[in-house]
Amino acid sequence: MTNAIITFENLGIGYQGRPLLSDISLSITRGSFTAILGANGSGKSTMLKTVLGLIPPVAGRIALAADRGESFVFGYVPQTSNLDPLFPFTGFDVALMGAYGRVKPGRLVPHAERTFTHECLEAAGAQGFARERFAELSGGQKQRVLIARALVTRPDILVLDEPTSGVDAAATRAVLEFISRIHREKEITVLLVTHDLPIVRNHAQQVIWLHQGRALYGPVAEMLMPDRLMSIFEMEVR
């Protein structure tokens, strides 16, 4: 595949040398929107953590085609935040954490970074509650703040692990529409883990489907055809 930003080369992923998924060879195009699907325990979050470098591959390698030889910046939106709810972070404080990688230790966060954080909160529709305590925000509001934090990192690749889990339908729609918009406008590469097939049909371009230790990959239109779904789910056509 031309213009690949991430390439899996005979990749095996798992923990302590035991693979959950093996022999994955595929490429993800720069600026694409790829959904990662699969049953619980199929390895979706493990795949994201391997891409992010949080856990090493069991076999093979992941190649990143960085511009000008520089390291990629990942913007990561986890399933849930592990921030202590008793600690009085505001939404703005949480979003500002995305800038910490550009601030030298012991230095105050520059005014320009704070201004940029406000811009990201505004873009994510979170500026209106940015001064409220993060722990007291609704699920949808928290996810908007976490997306703003990911944008503050100025990412090349936006990685989202079920960002609308536990969020109501209206908030889910708003969050995914926003992600799709920044994908189009900023041409950011998006990797999204989800269980929601309508979301995939409406927003993604490619699908990686993790099934029985394998990774099936293709365009959304092909992967979500009824006969392909039946094959994946091992269902018989009646």
Question: Is 23 within a domain?
Answer: no
- State residue 2's pLDDT score: 59
Share of the chain above pLDDT 70, in %: 92
Q: What's the number of CA atoms in the CB half-sphere (13 Å) around residue 224?
A: 20
Tokens of 136: 């007291």
Count other Cβ atoms within 10 Å, centred on residue 181.
Answer: 11
Question: Is 59 within a domain?
Answer: no
Question: Is 174 within a domain?
Answer: no
Averaged pLDDT, 153-179: 84
Question: Is 131 within a domain?
Answer: yes
- State residue 91's pLDDT score: 96
Round the average pLDDT of the chain to a whole number and report it.
Answer: 87
Beta strand pairing call for 33-38 and 189-193: parallel
Strand ranges in the chain using DSSP code E only, listed in sequence order: 4-15, 18-29, 33-38, 59-64, 74-77, 157-161, 189-193, 206-211, 214-219
Element (H, E) at 91: helix 91-96
Distance CA 113, CA 110 (A): 5
Distance CA 17, CA 74 (A): 25
In the block, tokens 């008793």 appear at 86
Averaged pLDDT, 42-65: 91
Maximum CA pair distance of the chain? 66
Tokens of 67: 């511009």
Averaged pLDDT, 145-167: 88
Domains: count for the chain: 1
DSSP, res 90: B
Question: Is 21 within a domain?
Answer: no
Tokens of 46: 């493990």
Averaged pLDDT, 29-37: 94
Express each pLDDT in 82-140 by its tens digit.
Answer: 667 767 899 999 999 999 988 888 789 999 999 999 999 998 889 999 999 999 998 88
Question: Is 96 within a domain?
Answer: yes
- pLDDT of 196 > 50? The answer is yes
- State residue 174's pLDDT score: 82
Express each pLDDT in 222-237 by its tens digit.
Answer: 998 888 887 776 643 3
Please report which confidence band the pLDDT of residue 238 belongs to, taking 50, 70 and 90 as the band edges.
very low
Domain extent at residue 144: 85-155
- pLDDT of 178 > 60? The answer is yes
Residue 106 C-alpha from the chain's centroid: 30
Please report which confidence band the pLDDT of residue 13 belongs to, taking 50, 70 and 90 as the band edges.
very high
Question: Is 54 within a domain?
Answer: no
Measured between alpha carbons, how far is residue 232 from residues 32, 85, 100, 217, 229 in Å? Answer: 23, 40, 42, 12, 5
Question: Is 142 within a domain?
Answer: yes
